[in-house]
Structures are given as structure tokens and as C-alpha cells.
Amino acid sequence: MVINSDSPFNGGYFRAEMVFTDEYPYQPPKFRFLIPITHPNIYPDGQLCISILHNPGEDIMSGEDASERWSPLQGAESVLRSVLLLLDDPEINSPANVDAGVMYRDRRGEYHEKARETVERSKKDIPEGFEMPTTFEAAPPPKQEEDDDFWAGSSDEEFDFGGSDTGDDDEMDYEDEEEEEEEEEEGEGDGSDEEEEEDK
């Protein structure tokens, strides 16, 4: 998806595939669009001529630095970001599509018209029920209205979950049991004294 109001491809839903070989992440994945796009750096079969998808290391012939090419530190997100940037800012010095490169350089209006046609064609691939975003900004969460009736008539008793009362009840029960045991011990002691007096 291209979401950039300054891009000639704004609003495009471009199906593509990214293939990861057994050598990934030491070698770059393969990327290609599944829809024809008139662009200086896109081959007719949908593959891209882009530095990040070139094998690691410097290339004296192309003049690319190692920092521009693939490295194991890169990932799928890096590739997608680079592709989106390339769509909006073509490299016309070494084009994969020479005719598109000339059109971009000399007939920019015609190039933009071709881009708009591609965008409209790509919208046929949008899944049913999917709503294309128009901005990167996330929509604010819906504001919840305060319900005054919820708090009306509330009392402390309604919010008393009995946490402290349970502890108090246990403590009182324990004290009652201690008092009963003491009374029983005293009663047993009185009975033994009376028996001794009778024996005398």
C-alpha cells in the first residue's frame, strides 16, 4: 500500500511477493511486484533494481557501497521501506526500464498519468471489506461518555467487599474460643478441689 499524498502512486494497492532462500539472512530475499508498473527501476516481470536487494559487499562496477547493499542486519521491513522510497524517488541513472526512465525525465506529466492508471488498476485487488487507510496516523480511540447515573445512589456499603470484616470476624472467633477454654479449665479446677474436701 502506498499512503503518501505527494506520491504519484498514492492510494495504490500493489500485490507483491518476497521469497526468502535458504541462505537468508546472509543473502537478500527476492522481491517482485505481481502487477505491471511503469517505473524506471522496475523490470517488466516486476522485479526491482534496488541496492538493498543486491548481494552484500561493495561493487566496484556499480559504484555501490557495502552500506547501500544487503546485510544480515536488514530485514523484510527494511526492504519494504526501501521499495516505497524508490517508488516515489526513482534512480534514473541506471534504469531497469529505460523507456520509463526517459518518460520520468522528459515527460513527467505523462509519467504521473501512467502512475494514476496503475493505481486505479491495482484497486481491483483490494480484498472485499478492506478499507484502504488514507493516513499513517492511528485513529483516536472513541471517547467514552461518563454515565452520571452509574454513581447515583451509591453508598459505601455497595463498595464494601468484606475484605477487612472477614479478618475481624476471624479474630473475634479466636478470642471467643480462648475464653471458652479458660472457663472450662477453671471449671475443672473447682471440681477437683471439692472432691478433696469431701475426702477429708
DSSP labels for 41-84? TB-TTSBB--GGGSPSS-BTTTTB-TTTS--TT--HHHHHHHHH
Strands 30-33 and 16-19: antiparallel
Active site annotation includes 49: yes
Question: Measured between alpha carbons, how far is residue 71 from residues 74, 98, 129 in Å?
Answer: 6, 28, 38
Q: Which is catalytic among the residues 1, 3, 16, 49? A: 49
DSSP labels for 107-152? -HHHHHHHHHHHHHHHGGGSPTTPPPPS-SSPPPPPPPPP-HHHHT
Question: By the 8 A CB rule, do 104 and 40 touch?
Answer: yes
For the record, the C-alpha cell of 14 comes out as: 500493489
- Residue whose grid cell is 521501506: 81
Catalytic residues, by residue number, are: 49
